[in-house]
Structure 1
Amino acid sequence: MRTVIVNGTVIDTEPEPRVLPGACVVVEDGVIVSVGPEPPRGDRPSGDVNGGDVNGGDVNGGDVNGGDVEVIDATGRIVLPGLVDTHRHVWQSVLRGIAADATLGGYLDLVLGRLAPAFRAEDVYAAELWGAIEALNAGVTTLYDWSHIQLTPAHTDAAVAALRESGVRAVLAYAHPGPGDGARDEAAVRRFRSEHFPSAEPGLVTPAFAAWGPVYGSVEAARADWLLARELGLPISLHATGEGPVERLHANGLLGPGVLFVHGNGMPEEAMKLVAANGGTASVTPAVECQMGHGLPETGRFRESGVPTGLGVDTVTAVPGDMFAVMRAAFAAERSRPGRPADRPFTAADVLRMATIEGATAIGMADRIGSLTPGKQADLLLLDAGAPNLAPVHDPVAAVVTAADVSTVDTVLVAGRVVKRGGRLVGPDTARARDLAERSARHVSAQALGRSTTPR
């Protein structure tokens, strides 16, 4: 199957964001094959694209070149790579807004201490499916799912099944059921790897390991987890702030490529340099970090230290689940950071890069996603440039970062497959998914808090 996207304002992001007015993007069998000013010969329909023959159904219905070419008319659209969320607890989608006023401590007590134990396997399935649908609707084509809800093997099976059903591209990072050393279960991690990801061929959902230690556990447990993850070929992600975590990992020879540090608030400069020198990466979640009081987001300091840095939503218990809100939070927080070097301005292009190709680098997927480079997966996003909050567009990059929102997401493709078209999702049954999410929200809230979540 070949898809040709014509007449759009294209933004590529590698090596830096740049605008390609009127460029044509050609996709074949889910892979980008070219980005240029004109479609290859024979790929344009004989009718007038701008005249309405395409949207009228003749082309999208399969009548071009024997039925193997779909032409998407992107007139009045901004075309760019799908957004990459480098850190999200997707299972918390059914807890939306429940901790909006909480500090980090309050969030940990409420969400992990009280609500998480009430989740059944079917609640994990509902939450993962609804959270992935939410992401796709917002133009997020890749999620790094830091999944600390693996209470039983059935919970794990449910998470994998829901992500695969959704059609999102996801890294499912498995965490032990709890942060203490006694909660470690190597057999469960091995089962997760062998049963759900037996092939070395990367699919839309790929595995990783979400580490508690050495932040919430001992160095000995962290060493065992690192050895296990490396044995199984799993990249590692961990929450780490302040002084201590990086230094302890370094002292025990555990720093290296494939280690993603989340947050990093207050991390000493020397620690950041150790992360960079050892090939580590970072994920910053500026909206949550500001709102919950983690500290000033370290977007600029990580990047100035040479650490590839992506952006993440983190949790919708407190903030919106779209990357447009995250980009704006990052932009505002970094530009107001005391001590920011005057000769190194933080720009809208920097933010968009973090939400695409640099985010892909942070999670080890820059060879597959994050830009429009031929040979990469066709994860694409089309924004309605004529929307009241975007038009008139003077600078497409700035428009994406400062003005776009979920309402402007017109079309989304993952691996070349359209999952949203004309502002409407066309993948999983959204009504069914919403019903499952609402049922699970009521169950979890009633079990953990003794109250219903349904507005009256």
Structure 2
Amino acid sequence: MSNSWIIKNGVVIDTEPQPVVLGEVDVLVREGRIAAVGPDLTAEGVAEIDATGMIVLPGFVDSHRHTWQSTIRAVAPDTTLGGYVEHVLGELGPRFGPGDVHAGIAAGARECLDSGITTMLDWSHVQFTPEHTDAAVDALTASGIRAVFGFCYGGTDQDQMAPEGRRVREALTGDLVSMAVAAFGPEFGDLARAAGEWRLAQELDLTVSVHMGGHGAESAERGLAFLDAHGFMGGPRTTYIHANYYTDEHLKRIADSGGSVSVSPFSEMALAIGYPVTGRAREFGIPASFSADAVTSGPGDMFGMMRTAHALERGRPEGAGLGFTTRDALRMATIEGAEVVGLADVTGSLRVGKQADLQLLRTDTPSMAGAQDVIGAVVLNADTSAVDTVMVSGRVLKRAGRLASV
């Protein structure tokens, strides 16, 4: 599969340091990396992609997705967080064998690629045995997507968590799949397990992704106190999922520690997890990203997440969020998301030298025709039907609206 291309005649959006429309310029990809962005580029021996009538921009980054649940989509559309935990995690999850995990993650990865998501953090809390874990990693690797595998140990013998984590870390030798620790505690599970998860991340020099701050004010305070007591604030680098109940003081501490947040704007509202922290976090300089969370209770495409976040932020009381723009939403969906998952030097923008993780959006669909503000149209009007071409590391995984057979 070729990974060298020249993309011509498209309207190009870059996102670093801020989203900007570069106009009708060319993008040259050599050996999977962005080699040049500019007008009238030429390159001998490189296949051309004609992007006439299309928007060219970086692929989206989803910072928290329980991808294994793709095969039980919409199983709990009108539940709350408690109902989700009881039914999906307590009743359905334990019935998944390794083959079911592989099928769910394979389907979820294809869903991401189909909708322009080229990078995701797969928060995998279905690892009941090493075979479950291997099935998850194999599905991610085979899909062609860029992924951070969120290791959440699910075995009954907690003494085996660290050895299993080391085994997985050593097995990840490819270019596209890396690893983070998906910590179950301290707001879920016992605190001894939580301490073991953070120590494992420190040992393996991995980031931590954790559901913290979305379970009430008292729980949010206790969770940060636990991190403080064990010296975990600031090391390892931590992404806080559903961080909606943190006070301004808490957010300042997270910012000072180098932490980031993952916002699931739809599921947080639908499951009553709290009002999304989007603008509040960014006001403190905390890198913020979007996540689909779980398609058991919400949509899985980035367009829906950007629109939901944009509307909710601008609808904050007394106009507190009116400064949040479509450019902010697109930044969170691309370069800021890449920063949150630890891949800002790899993906998320069109900077020369980065991996060519790109998407081309059609503008001749009914929802995109006549668009005036290009970035505004991407955020507020586009949907999966507009995604014509998707490229990961220069490999074309969707073309002319059809996914490749991977």
TM-score band by shorter chain is over 0.9
Preserved contact between residue 258 and residue 364 of structure 1 (Cα < 8 Å): no
Structure 1 runs, 4 residues or longer, greater than 4 Å off: 180-184
1:185 counterpart SS class: helix
Pairing partner for 2:153 from 170, 176, 185: 176
Preserved contact between residue 420 and residue 427 of structure 1 (Cα < 8 Å): no
Give the letter aligned to residue 24 of structure 2: G
Tell me the TM-score normalised to structure 2 length: 0.95
Q: CA deviation at 1:386?
A: 1.3
Q: Deviations over 1:35-67 (max 9, x none)?
A: 111213xx2xxxxxxxxxxxxxxxxxxxxx4xx
1:173 counterpart SS class: strand
Preserved contact between residue 213 and residue 238 of structure 1 (Cα < 8 Å): yes
Give the letter aligned to residue 4 of structure 1: I
Pairing partner for 1:213 from 173, 185, 190: 185
Q: How many residues align?
A: 397
Q: Given the alignment of the two structures, is residue 270 of structure 1 paired with residue 256 of structure 2, yes or no?
A: no
Q: CA deviation at 1:217?
A: 3.1
Preserved contact between residue 158 and residue 193 of structure 2 (Cα < 8 Å): no
Q: Given the alignment of the two structures, is residue 24 of structure 1 paired with residue 26 of structure 2, yes or no?
A: yes
Q: Given the alignment of the two structures, is residue 373 of structure 1 paired with residue 337 of structure 2, yes or no?
A: no
2:169 counterpart SS class: helix
Q: Distance in 2 between matches of 1:339 and 1:139?
A: 34
Highest Rg: 1 or 2? Answer: 1
Structure 2 match to 1:138? 115
Preserved contact between residue 260 and residue 288 of structure 2 (Cα < 8 Å): yes
Pairing partner for 1:78 from 35, 55, 58: 55
Q: Given the alignment of the two structures, is residue 287 of structure 1 paired with residue 266 of structure 2, yes or no?
A: yes
1:105 counterpart SS class: helix
Give the letter aligned to residue 58 of structure 2: P
Q: CA deviation at 1:175?
A: 0.3
Q: Given the alignment of the two structures, is residue 186 of structure 1 paired with residue 162 of structure 2, yes or no?
A: yes
Q: Distance in 2 between matches of 1:293 and 1:319?
A: 13
Q: Distance in 2 between matches of 1:326 and 1:176?
A: 28
| Structure 1 unaligned blocks of 5 or more | 44-64, 429-456
Preserved contact between residue 264 and residue 298 of structure 1 (Cα < 8 Å): yes
Q: Given the alignment of the two structures, is residue 253 of structure 1 paired with residue 255 of structure 2, yes or no?
A: no
Tell me the TM-score normalised to structure 1 length: 0.84
Give the letter aligned to residue 409 of structure 1: V
Q: Distance in 2 between matches of 1:219 and 1:424?
A: 47
Q: Distance in 2 between matches of 1:339 and 1:357?
A: 29
Pairing partner for 1:99 from 54, 72, 76: 76
Preserved contact between residue 263 and residue 276 of structure 2 (Cα < 8 Å): yes
Structure 2 match to 1:13? 15
1:141 counterpart SS class: strand
Preserved contact between residue 4 and residue 27 of structure 1 (Cα < 8 Å): yes
Q: CA deviation at 1:379?
A: 0.3
Q: Distance in 2 between matches of 1:297 and 1:135?
A: 22
1:181–1:289 Cα change, 3 Å: farther
Q: Distance in 2 between matches of 1:320 and 1:221?
A: 32
Q: Deviations over 1:238-267 (max 9, x none)?
A: 001243222321232101152111111111
Give the letter aligned to residue 402 of structure 2: R
Q: Given the alignment of the two structures, is residue 424 of structure 1 paired with residue 392 of structure 2, yes or no?
A: no
Q: CA deviation at 1:185?
A: 2.3
Q: Distance in 1 between matches of 2:160 and 2:84?
A: 23
After superposition, residues 128-167 of structure 1 pair within 5 angstroms as 128-167=105-144
Q: CA deviation at 1:206?
A: 0.7
Pairing partner for 2:313 from 320, 334, 338: 334
Structure 1 match to 2:35? 33
Structure 2 match to 1:88? 65
Preserved contact between residue 167 and residue 414 of structure 1 (Cα < 8 Å): yes
Aligned identity (percent) is 49
1:183–1:100 Cα change, 3 Å: farther
Q: Deviations over 1:172-205 (max 9, x none)?
A: 0110217x995872222222122x22x4xx6111
Give the letter aligned to residue 263 of structure 2: V
Q: Deviations over 1:306-361 (max 9, x none)?
A: 1100000000001111000011111011111125537x610000000000001111
Q: Deviations over 1:203-224 (max 9, x none)?
A: 1111111001111134443222
Pairing partner for 2:6 from 4, 15, 23: 4
Tell me whether 250-259 or 20-29 shows the greater mean CA deviation: 250-259
Give the letter aligned to residue 175 of structure 1: C
Pairing partner for 1:229 from 201, 223, 244: 201
Preserved contact between residue 314 and residue 320 of structure 2 (Cα < 8 Å): no
Structure 2 match to 1:439? none
Give the letter aligned to residue 361 of structure 1: E
Q: Distance in 2 between matches of 1:281 and 1:92?
A: 25
Q: Distance in 2 between matches of 1:345 and 1:229?
A: 36
Q: Distance in 1 between matches of 2:67 and 2:57?
A: 24
Preserved contact between residue 239 and residue 261 of structure 2 (Cα < 8 Å): yes
1:274–1:339 Cα change, 3 Å: farther
Preserved contact between residue 81 and residue 372 of structure 1 (Cα < 8 Å): yes
Q: Deviations over 1:129-177 (max 9, x none)?
A: 0100010001000011100010111101100111111111100011021
1:148 counterpart SS class: strand
Preserved contact between residue 378 and residue 414 of structure 1 (Cα < 8 Å): yes
Q: Distance in 2 between matches of 1:208 and 1:314?
A: 16
Q: Given the alignment of the two structures, is residue 386 of structure 1 paired with residue 386 of structure 2, yes or no?
A: no
Q: Distance in 2 between matches of 1:395 and 1:186?
A: 50
2:300 counterpart SS class: coil
